[in-house]
């Protein structure tokens, strides 16, 4: 497959615009993500990155434009349908279920897959039990992969921030999404934690074939992890290419890399 | 001392029924952020439905089953016609909605099934039994046991089933639950139905005591202080709050009643609730509100 083959594109954003009360958050944004790549979305705060993720996730409806995911077109989509079609996400500020254990949090990622009914579950009928066992196995596999077994029964709210981020990744990953949206998965982490998280993301992408869209501020992480970088500034795309191409783009240097945060 | 214990135990047992009503509130509040003022009128509606079916000749179990099915239908209707269209509105708008709902349900229930008082016999003798020298009402004991069983069933439902897991997920972080593909509307329907069933059980127990009538819907006013004391977000808090209110108002009636001319049970719970608002605004087990951005 070549880069221009439309079959190769898992996601295409076409001329998307979004405004809040007359302020443009995103203006006529277009880009495509190839199947199996890690695409980083970078740009200063307020550039529209999280807004875009919220559009892909069905939380916001864009004013104009359309999304093509796996050859299916839509402008607005029900968040339930997003999950059903295989898009998983994590949130910028952790959105874990703080009173549940690590294992339970990961299991919620499979909750929509329950095909046994409420009463079957309540009475623990064979079908419900078999399903539960299968879900548990998948969740355990994720815990093992993310090296979370030792805290599997810990209440998430009591864990260190870096571990919480990992649990959130596991919760999104357990449903085996085709596309994973990660909103600043390394924010607030120290260097060691960032390296670990980068390694997990790279492994997920390589071994599970999961396409990843990553919002990240740490340029070092972005350059080493991603193959494709899209740069936003004030809701517009100012660069789109390989890390090397983007890094040498004068507009990017002016708008982002040189900017003081 | 024996008299004190007797009063205390009687109060605690009566309190379990407050707890049952309060649990319905907590479930709905946690899952949909709605303070459901209509809980009392739904309790009246379901108990009235049960009694009417039973009086029409349906056996106890069949009448109960049909009532539960009707309750589930009402829960689906409420979700479709009210909660879904009004999702994301202000808490005040949702509260007014439930206030309106409570009058509609009450009016329709009495219009269709009549406003007369129905007797309800659950087949439990109200003969006191003696523990040493302490007299305990057998009916109160049976009612408390029923409440305990219901709480046990709810605990299994929420902690051991995957629907329970989804429910806790929605209660904890709705946005995250949606991103995982958890069907919020379905969860709301289930929660309102379950809250309705816990109301039905409470209504049947109260109705057997006082007759099934309009006044049943006023338990909503008793549940309020229970929730303020226990906290709006904790089932354990609802149970504790119910017991505290039950015990406190019975003791107050007995020991303080003669001083103020009696009738304390109708307002003493609110004195406690206001005291709690001073010292523990979130209730015993409630979460302190943290603004979500």
A107 at interface of B, judged by CB pairs closer than 8 A: yes
| Cα–Cα dist A213/A197, whole Å | 14
Mutate to test the interface with B, among A97, A124, A172, A174 (most CBs of B within 10 A): A97
Beta carbons of B24 and B227 less than 8 angstroms apart: no
A-chain CB neighbours of B176 within 8 Å are 91, 95-97
Mutate to test the interface with A, among B180, B184, B189, B287 (most CBs of A within 10 A): B180
| Cα–Cα dist B148/B167, whole Å | 21
Give CA B87 to chain center in angstroms: 23
Burial class (CB in 10 A: 0-12, 13-18, 19+), A135: buried
pLDDT at residue B293, rounded to an integer: 43
Under 8 Å CB-to-CB from A181, ≥6 apart: which residues? A53, A56, A57, A87, A88, A89, A90, A213
B169 at interface of A, judged by CB pairs closer than 8 A: yes
Least CB-CB distance to B181: which of A99, A100, A112? Answer: A112
The backbone region for B75, taken as left when phi is positive above 0, alpha when psi lies in -120 to 50, beta otherwise, is alpha
Sign of the torsion formed by the C-alpha atoms of A150, A155, A158 and A160: positive
Task: For B154, name the nearest residue in chain A, comparing CA atoms only.
Answer: A122
What are the distances in angstroms from CA B170 to CA A97, B66, B174, B182? 9, 29, 5, 8
Which of B68, B199, B55 lies closest to B120 in space, CA to CA? B55
Mutate to test the interface with B, among A118, A168, A171, A175 (most CBs of B within 10 A): A118
Verify whether the Cβ–Cβ distance B168 to A97 is below 8 Å: yes
Least CB-CB distance to A108: which of B160, B169, B183? Answer: B169
The complex's ipTM works out to: 0.84
pLDDT at residue B190, rounded to an integer: 94
Number of H helices, E strands in chain B: 12, 2
Mutate to test the interface with A, among B152, B155, B156, B176 (most CBs of A within 10 A): B176
A235 at interface of B, judged by CB pairs closer than 8 A: no
Verify whether the Cβ–Cβ distance A95 to B175 is below 8 Å: yes
Q: Tell me if the pTM is above 0.95.
A: no
A180 at interface of B, judged by CB pairs closer than 8 A: no
Strand B128-131 and strand B134-137: the pairing is: antiparallel
pLDDT at residue A53, rounded to an integer: 92
**CA of B35 to nearest chain A CA: how many angstroms apart?**
22
What CATH topology corresponds to A6-86+177-257? Rossmann fold (3.40.50)
What are the distances in angstroms from CA A24 to CA A29, A62, A232, B172? 11, 11, 13, 32
pLDDT at residue A170, rounded to an integer: 96
Every domain range in chain A assigned CATH 3.40.50.300: 6-86+177-257
Q: In which residue ranges of chain B is pLDDT below 70?
A: 287-293
Verify whether the Cβ–Cβ distance B162 to A111 is below 8 Å: yes
The packing angle between helices B39-55 and B2-32, to 10°, is: 100
* Tokens of residue B283, six digits: 């209730």
Strand A64-69 and strand A72-74: the pairing is: antiparallel
pLDDT at residue B215, rounded to an integer: 86
B-chain CB neighbours of A95 within 8 Å are 173, 175-176, 179
Beta carbons of A42 and A223 less than 8 angstroms apart: no
Using DSSP, state whether B53 is helix, strand or coil: helix
pLDDT at residue A2, rounded to an integer: 45
pLDDT at residue A149, rounded to an integer: 94
B140's enclosing H/E stretch is helix B138-160
A129 at interface of B, judged by CB pairs closer than 8 A: no
If one counts every other C-beta atom within 10 angstroms of the C-beta of residue A224, the result is: 12
A57 at interface of B, judged by CB pairs closer than 8 A: yes
Q: In which residue ranges of chain A is pLDDT below 70?
A: 1-7, 114-124, 256-261
pLDDT at residue A107, rounded to an integer: 95
pLDDT at residue A230, rounded to an integer: 95
């Amino acid at each position: 497959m070549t880069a221009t083959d439309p079959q190769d594109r898992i996601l295409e954003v076409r001329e998307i615009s979004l405004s809040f009360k007359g302020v443009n958050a995103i203006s006529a944004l277009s880009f495509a993500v190839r199947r199996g790549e890690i695409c980083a979305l970078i740009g200063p705060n307020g550039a529209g990155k999280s807004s875009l993720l919220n559009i892909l996730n069905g939380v916001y409806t864009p004013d104009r434009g359309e999304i093509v995911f796996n050859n299916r077109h839509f402008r607005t989509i029900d968040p339930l349908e997003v999950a059903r079609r295989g898009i998983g996400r994590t949130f910028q500020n952790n959105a874990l279920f703080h009173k549940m254990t690590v294992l339970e949090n990961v299991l919620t990622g499979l909750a929509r897959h329950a095909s046994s009914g409420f009463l079957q579950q309540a009475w623990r009928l064979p079908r419900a039990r078999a399903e539960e066992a299968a879900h548990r196995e998948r969740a355990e596999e994720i815990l093992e992969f993310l090296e979370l077994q030792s805290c599997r029964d810990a209440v998430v709210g009591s864990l260190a921030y870096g571990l919480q981020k990992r649990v959130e990744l596991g919760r999104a990953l357990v449903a085996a999404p085709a596309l994973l949206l990660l909103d600043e998965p390394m924010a607030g982490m120290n260097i060691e934690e960032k390296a670990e998280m980068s390694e997990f993301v790279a492994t997920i992408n390589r071994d599970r074939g999961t396409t990843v869209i990553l919002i990240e501020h740490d340029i070092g992480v972005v350059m080493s992890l991603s193959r494709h970088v899209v740069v936003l500034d004030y809701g517009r795309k100012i660069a789109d290419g390989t890390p090397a191409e983007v890094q040498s783009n004068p507009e990017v240097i002016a708008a982002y890399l040189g900017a003081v945060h | 001392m024996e008299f004190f214990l007797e009063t205390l135990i009687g109060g605690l047992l009566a309190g379990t029924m407050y707890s049952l009503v309060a649990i319905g509130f907590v479930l709905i509040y946690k899952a949909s952020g709605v303070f459901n003022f209509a809980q009392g009128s739904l309790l009246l509606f379901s108990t009235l439905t049960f009694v009417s079916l039973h009086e029409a000749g349906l056996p106890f179990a069949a009448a109960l089953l049909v009532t539960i099915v009707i309750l589930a239908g009402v829960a689906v209707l409420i979700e479709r016609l009210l909660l879904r269209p009004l999702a994301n509105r202000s808490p005040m708008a949702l509260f007014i909605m439930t206030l309106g709902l409570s009058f509609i349900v009450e009016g329709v229930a009495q219009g269709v099934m009549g406003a007369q008082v129905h007797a309800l016999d659950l087949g439990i003798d109200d003969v006191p039994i003696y523990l040493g020298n302490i007299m305990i009402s057998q009916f109160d004991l049976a009612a408390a046991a029923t409440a305990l069983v219901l709480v046990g069933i709810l605990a299994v439902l929420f902690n051991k089933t995957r629907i329970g897991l989804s429910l806790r997920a929605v209660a904890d972080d709705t946005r995250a639950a949606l991103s995982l593909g958890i069907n919020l509307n379905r969860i709301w329907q289930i929660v309102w139905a379950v809250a309705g069933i816990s109301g039905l059980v409470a209504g049947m127990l109260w109705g057997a005591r006082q007759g099934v009538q309009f006044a049943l819907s006023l338990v909503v006013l008793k549940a309020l202080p229970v929730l303020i004391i226990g906290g709006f977000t904790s089932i354990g808090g609802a149970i504790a709050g119910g017991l505290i209110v039950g015990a406190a108002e019975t003791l107050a009636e007995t020991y303080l009643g003669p001083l103020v001319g009696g009738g304390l049970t109708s307002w003493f719970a609110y004195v406690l609730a206001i005291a709690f608002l001073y010292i523990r605004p979130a209730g015993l087990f409630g979460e302190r509100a943290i603004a979500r951005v």
